[in-house]
Amino acid sequence: MKPFEYIRPATVAEAVAAAAQPGAAYLAAGTNLLDLMKGGVSRPDRLVDVTHLDRLDAIETLADGSLRIGALVSNADLAHDPAFAKSYPAVAEALLSGASAQLRNAATVGGNLLQRTRCAYFYDTASRCNKREAGSGCDAREGENRTHAVLGWSENCIATHPSDFCVPLVALDAMVEIEGRGGRREIPLDELHRLPGDTPARESALEPGDLIVAVRLPPAAHAFAAHARYLKVRERTSYAFAIVSAAAALRIENGKVAEARLALGGVAAKPWRARAAEDVLRGIAPEADVFQEAARRALTDAKPSGDNAFKIELARRIVVRALTLAAAGTPARLPALPASPFASTSGAIHA
């Protein structure tokens, strides 16, 4: 491993100043970063440890009814918070479908948002990868690419974003609070991650030194609690990233969909909000033919990036399944196999 400087700042302002220097990286749990460093994929000159910064590990309900989640809250603590799981069940289900219990105990909310792709060519330093080394090429284009992107990809990069957590957050219009050299600002989570285009090495809207300090769910997000699900198709039921996933949330009034939210994971370099599909559902009774049309709209622009045409049909089917389960109602118990299409609803009680 390359030698690096280790800094442990006392305040957020000190952390931002330290991380704004070239070659710096933030360190929280390190569940992704340390693996990348061990493999020589990431080679920072300086690690800025933010794990002891004050008030970044709180879950707070704000005066306007929104929920603010500090960037250092662990995935496990958030998913197992009874009030959170009851109000945002699809988010809790997504969190519990990711990684292992040990990793969820360590991994943080802020780090989850900024996970790097799990593309094998990104992790293999002997392969060409435009994310790892700008302008070097993309060996995934002609390589093993059955799990790669079907939406938003370019000739320069066909990688996907691996987060489960981000998918329902994007569907629920989550905001990200960022502390930077110019002070604090916020952006929609849907605008945090960038599609590859001609610059796949630039993966997010963050500038040097920018630190994610919190994620905020707006007051309207918990209105979907009665009809919300997250589903994930993977190579194996546990400890695997999504081939495709979908978060569906409905607000049903008088037998019709008053409002719909839908996002997909595993299909692009960012969580993919399917707004055209949401428009199809609005004002219509939640029925099978409507869900089929919504799924078709969600994947209208999809195209294979290699040997992965099957993912388009698979994504359509998981959208229909997620909408069907959401319309049936959020189960009183979180499934024992969270997010699995094959799970029964016997599991942890939300309330």
Over residues 6-32, the mean pLDDT reads 98
Percent of the chain with pLDDT over 90: 93
CATH of the domain at 254: 3.30.390.50
Among all chains, which residue has been given the structure tokens 């994610």?
A: 212
Task: Give me the domain span that covers residue 276.
Answer: 227-336
Q: For residue 7, is it within any domain?
A: yes
* pLDDT tens sequence across 115-136: 999 999 999 999 999 999 999 9
pLDDT band at 238 (very low <50, low <70, confident <90, very high): confident
Residue 347's pLDDT band (cuts 50, 70, 90): low
pLDDT of residue 335: 86
At 349 the pLDDT is: 54
Gap between the Cα atoms of 289 and 286, Å rounded:
9
The answer to whether residues 299 and 331 touch, using CB atoms and an 8 Å cutoff, is: no
* Residues 93/167, Cβ–Cβ less than 8 Å: no
Picking from 279, 276, 292, the residue whose alpha carbon sits closest to that of residue 324 is 292
Looking at residue 302, its pLDDT comes to: 98
On the question of pLDDT at 38 being above 80, the answer is yes
Give the angle subtended at the CA of 189 by the CAs of 347 and 117, to the nearest 5°. 75
Q: Report the alpha-carbon angle 299-79-178, nearest 5.
A: 75
Instruction: For residues 342-351, give the mean pLDDT.
Output: 62
> Which domain CATH number covers 20?
3.30.43.10
Residue 125 in any domain: the answer is no
How far apart are the C-alpha atoms of 78 and 183, rounded to whole Å?
Answer: 27
- Residue 29 falls within a domain, yes or no? yes
Using a cut of 0.85, tell me whether the model's pTM lies above it.
Answer: yes
Within 13 A of 90's CA, how many CA atoms are on the CB side? 36
> Which of 50, 66, 88 is a domain's end point?
50
What number is the average pLDDT over the span 144-166? 98
Neighbours of 55 (CB within 10 A): 11
Kindly tell me if the per-residue pLDDT of 348 is higher than 60. no
pLDDT of residue 351: 47
Whether the predicted pLDDT of 332 surpasses 80:
yes
Q: What is the pLDDT of residue 156?
A: 98
Residue 46 domain flag: yes
Count of domains observed in the chain: 2
pLDDT at position 336:
85
pLDDT 10s digits, 169-193: 999 999 999 999 999 999 999 999 9
Task: Name the pLDDT band for 147 (thresholds 50, 70, 90).
Answer: very high
Within-domain flag for 176:
no
- Evaluate whether 212 touches 110 at the Cβ level (below 8 Å): yes
Residue 349 in any domain: the answer is: no
36 inside domain: yes
User: Could you read off the pLDDT of 261-305 as tens digits, one per residue?
Assistant: 999 999 999 999 999 999 999 999 999 999 999 999 999 999 999
Tokens in use for 274? 């399917």
Mean pLDDT of the chain: 96
Q: List strand residue ranges (DSSP E) for the chain, in order.
A: 5-7, 24-27, 46-49, 59-61, 67-70, 175-180, 183-188, 211-217, 228-234, 242-253, 256-265, 272-273, 333-335, 347-349
Task: Work out the average pLDDT over 297-317.
Answer: 98
59 lies in some domain: no
